[in-house]
Structure 1
Amino acid sequence: MPITSIAIDDEPLALALISEYAARIPELSLVQTFEDAISGAEYLRQYPVDVLFIDINMPDITGIDLVRSLEKKPLTIFTTAYKQFACEGFELEAIDYLLKPIAFDRFSKAVQRAGSLKAFRYPAHPATGQHFFVRSEYRMIRIECAQVQYIEGLEDYVKIHIDNEKPVLTLMTMKAIMEKLPAGLFRRIHRSYIIPLRRVKAIHNRKLLLDRGRELPISDSYLGFIQEWTQQKPL
């Protein structure tokens, strides 16, 4: 999934390094860089992007104050030489905090995190043509992603619950069905359950509520889903 970004830093060398690193990551598009924080903020208000790389200690306005002023906040990655700002930065729900000098591996991990959170914040909605096939009752059945309520694992079988139709039962493992599903649309939350992201309405006490009222458990192995889903909510 492509990730658009800008970088704001009053140090030209820092911007040059971010530009160099961004060029090495195919899915990351660094559309603009700004040495002037005010100009960067104005650009963001007119042209929203997925990710903001921003220094904290700048002469005209701090990166923290700039992010706080934005009505629609991008996924924010602070870049700074000062550790003491970390707590305040995370209070703004920054997704990462990179200390200068920034190593490429650390930069790359921050971008990967941004990509994962973007997928949760803006899950792709199934469009015409988004479907998969399974074999059931000696025939191949086409299943539209938009119609899937959830998928249930039953030992050697998978049961696909579909809107306004009887469930489809197919001889398949949960791992195999996950490999058939379009990337970014579904998540596994339990050894026995896979859910479409677009149908999740609430999570409470390790229970997930779907849009049709069905409640499913989230197992210990997939508790990370709770934090990821929470972070994808609009800021």
Structure 2
Amino acid sequence: MQLKCVAIDDEPLALMLISEYVSRIPSLQLLKTFEDAISGAEFLKHAQVDLLFIDINMPDITGIELVRSLEKKPMVIFTTAYKNFAFEGFELEAIDYLLKPIDFTRFAKAVDKATEYYKYKNAEPKDQPDDSIYVYSEYRMVKVNVNDIEYIESMEDYVKIHLPGVKPVLTLMPLKKMLEKLPADKFRRIHRSYVVAVNKIKSIQSRKVQLAGIELPVSDSYADFIKEWAKR
């Protein structure tokens, strides 16, 4: 399998570096490079492209504006010389951001993420693994192992995915939509603000679900779950 890719950057040296890096990765096929963002955007409208490497800061149009304008969006890896990314990029669900000067090891890691995500999105339903999901967090696509999730907390427009021993993953998504991504037999909503992994529950007492190191409330609307859990 090869991902067909395009690179857009107003800096010729940056394009040369990306072209050289792409040539070292057999899973990539570079279709074309563009120093002119407008020409690149026109090409993307008519070509079948799987992955786009694009600079954020360009003179005629920003990379974020260009990607937003595309009716059919490929996977995107942004390249930038700036550490502070525009928040607007969040909604575009970029696979990754690469900070210039780009190191090959970091480049290859971003490509691995894109390849993995491509396989996930294009697998037949019967071949879809239920042990991982992808969410957009901290300006990049993040893979989360479903079996590691302890509970999920709603924070208005965001949800916080709590995992053991690491920082929670924060993503822009309503709790209802997150539930749709998860296997129904493994996760249950117990409150308007909480979803728990059923196999992570230690005990339930006085409308309180006991997990490792935390206690979560069960609201009246979801009280039937207590009886269901007791029968397991």
Whether the 8 Å CA contact 2:120–2:128 is kept in 1: the answer is no
Residue correspondence of structure 1 range 218-229 to structure 2 within 5 A:
none
Match of 1:80 in 2: 80
Question: How much has 1:89 moved relative to structure 2?
Answer: 2.1
Unaligned runs of 5+ in 1: 126-147, 149-184, 192-201, 209-214, 222-235
Residue in structure 2 matching 1:217, options 176, 179, 186: 186
**Could you tell me how far 1:58 is from its partner in structure 2?**
0.7
CA distance in 1, matches of 2:10, 2:121: 30
Deviations 1:116-153 (A, max 9, x none): 1111222257xxxxxxxxxxxxxxxxxxxxxx6xxxxx
Choose which of 166, 173, 179 in structure 2 pairs with 1:204. 179
The alpha-carbon deviation at position 79 of structure 1 amounts to 0.4
Partners of 1:106 and 1:86 in 2: CA distance? 21
Q: 1:204 to 1:81 in 2, by over 3 A?
A: same
* Alignment deviations for residues 104-126 of structure 1 (CA, whole Å, 9 cap, x no partner): 0100011001011111222257x
CA–CA distance in structure 2, aligned partners of residues 12 and 3 of structure 1:
23
**Relative CO higher for 1 or 2, CA cutoff 8 Å, sep ≥ 6?**
1
Distance 1:52 1:206 in 2: 26
Q: How does 1:113-132 map onto structure 2 within 5 Å? A: 113-124=113-124
8 Å Cα contact 1:78/1:89 also seen in 2: no
Q: Does 1:47 align with 2:76?
A: no
Partner SS for 1:187: coil
Could you say if the C-alpha distance between residues 107 and 207 of structure 1 is closer, same or farther in structure 2, counting changes exceeding 3 Å?
A: closer
Unaligned 5+ residue runs, structure 2? 132-145, 148-176, 188-196, 200-232
Letter in 2 for 1:204: L
User: 1:11-160 to 2 correspondence within 5 Å?
Assistant: 11-124=11-124
1:59-100, Cα deviation, whole Å (9 max, x unpaired): 111111101100111111110101222533233211111010
Query: Could you say which residue in structure 2 is the equivalent of 1:187?
Result: 129
SS at 1:65 equivalent:
helix
8 Å Cα contact 2:9/2:54 also seen in 1: yes
TM-score, normalised to structure 1, is 0.57
Matched AA of 1:89: G
Residues in 2 aligned to 1:28 and 1:124: alpha-carbon distance in whole angstroms: 22
Alignment deviations for residues 199-226 of structure 1 (CA, whole Å, 9 cap, x no partner): xxx8627742xxxxxx4326699xxxxx
- State the match for 1:224 in structure 2: none
Match of 1:141 in 2: none
Q: Distance in 2 between matches of 1:205 and 1:47?
A: 32
Counterpart Cα distance in 2 of 1:116 and 1:220: 28
User: Please, what TM-score do these two structures have when normalized by structure 2?
Assistant: 0.57
Q: Distance in 1 between matches of 2:124 and 2:28?
A: 18
What is the percentage of aligned positions where both structures have the same residue? 59
Matched to 1:74, the amino acid is P
Secondary structure of 2:97's counterpart equals strand
8 Å CA contact retained: 1:5, 1:52: yes
Runs of 4+ in structure 1 off by over 3 angstroms are 218-221
Residue of structure 2 in register with 1:196 after alignment: none
Secondary structure of the 2:19 match is helix
